[in-house]
């Protein structure tokens, strides 16, 4: 489809072959640079701030020895993951909508403060990143907790005998032992860096923040709504090829890192 002037009435095979014209039209679109810039910036923000968050949570949870307290915290952290963005979007709009939300109205009436996170382009990206971290940090920490529990307890006993306090044990024993897991998860995360979060952005997006929130996935969705199937397919193929290149590059870097560590 990406190499043809696709017409739904003629089908893929009967449509005219146009070569790379769909890619030329895609790259020459005035919206494409904005879409790529937003996709990469939002993804990098989520990677930079969101990737370390589950690791930190897992390390902190490992230091809690009260089982009941630990399970309560884990339950509270895991719960947002099981709520869909559709439901969360409705809750967030009810709480944070500038003129009708409960929190902005409360702040305006009682303190004269204005809170605008959903319709202010300067605040919207930060809110996207923060809400994404809040939703996924608990669930993302599970794999790191599993990696930590596989560490031999005798190593901690030896570290205690050598005089290492709990912070030193976490920094010099726990963290180095889970580096392979961290590298694997980073590799997977970096390979999908162009997945900036379609569902979250689509639910929360509005016309006032369009210029900072339109990403490749939402752009492809709008192309299909406009019956531009071939260009939309070209956009999807472009995204897949970039993801493949990133996976290969990061995989090579991970192998070099592993050789240096060993």
For 101, other C-beta atoms within 10 Å of its C-beta total 20
Are residues 78 and 138 in contact, defined by beta-carbon separation less than 8 angstroms? yes
Cα angle for residues 187, 81, 201 (degrees, 5° grid): 75
What Cα–Cα distance (Å) separates residue 6 from each residue in 10, 219, 221?
8, 19, 17
DSSP string, 161-230: HTT--HHHHIIIIIHHHTHHHHHHHHHHHHHTTT---HHHHHHH--GGGHHHH--HHHHHHHHHHTT-HH
Q: Are 147 and 178 in contact (CB under 8 A)?
A: yes
DSSP 78: H
Distance CA 261, CA 156 (A): 21
User: What was the pLDDT predicted at 54?
Assistant: 93
CATH 3.40.630.10 fits domain 48-204: no
The CA distance from 61 to 78, in Å, is 13
Per-residue pLDDT of the chain (262 residues; tens, 9 = 90+): 888 887 777 777 877 888 888 888 888 888 888 998 999 899 899 989 989 999 999 988 888 888 888 889 988 999 888 988 888 888 888 888 777 778 878 777 877 777 777 888 888 888 889 989 999 898 889 999 988 888 888 888 888 888 888 888 888 888 888 888 888 888 778 777 788 888 888 888 888 888 888 888 888 888 888 878 888 888 888 888 888 888 788 778 777 766 655 4
Per the structure block, which two tokens stand in for 113?
């403060």
Indicate whether this model's pTM tops 0.85. Answer: no
Residue with tokens 């959903």: 118
Q: Which sequence spans correspond to the domains of the chain?
A: 48-204
Name residue 16's beta-bridge partners.
5
pLDDT at 256: 75
CA distance 96 to 5: 44
Spatial distance between the Cα atoms of 212 and 120, rounded to a whole number of angstroms: 10
Rounded CA separation 27/228 (Å): 14
């Amino acid at each position: 489809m990406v190499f043809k002037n696709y017409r739904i009435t003629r089908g893929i095979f009967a449509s005219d072959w146009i070569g790379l014209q769909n890619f030329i039209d895609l790259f020459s679109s005035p919206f494409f640079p904005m879409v790529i810039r937003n996709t990469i910036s939002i993804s990098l923000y989520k990677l930079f701030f969101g990737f370390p968050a589950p690791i930190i949570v897992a390390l902190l949870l490992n230091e809690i020895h009260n089982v009941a307290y630990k399970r309560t915290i884990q339950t509270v952290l895991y719960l947002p993951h099981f709520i869909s963005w559709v439901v969360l979007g409705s809750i967030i709009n009810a709480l944070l909508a500038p003129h009708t939300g409960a929190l902005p109205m409360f702040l305006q009436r009682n303190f004269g403060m204005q809170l605008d996170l959903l319709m202010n382009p300067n605040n919207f990206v930060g809110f996207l990143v923060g809400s994404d971290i809040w939703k996924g940090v608990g669930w993302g920490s599970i794999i790191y907790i599993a990696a930590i529990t596989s560490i031999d307890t005798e190593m901690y006993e030896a570290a205690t005998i050598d005089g290492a306090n709990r912070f030193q044990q976490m920094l010099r024993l726990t963290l180095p032992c889970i580096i392979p897991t961290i590298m694997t998860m980073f590799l997977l995360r970096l390979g999908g860096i162009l997945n900036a979060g379609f569902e979250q952005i689509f639910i929360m997006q509005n016309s006032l923040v369009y210029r900072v929130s339109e990403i490749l996935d939402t752009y492809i969705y709008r192309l299909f709504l406009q019956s531009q199937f071939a260009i939309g397919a070209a956009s999807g193929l472009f995204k897949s090829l970039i993801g493949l290149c990133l996976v290969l590059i990061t995989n090579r870097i991970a192998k070099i890192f592993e050789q240096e560590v060993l």
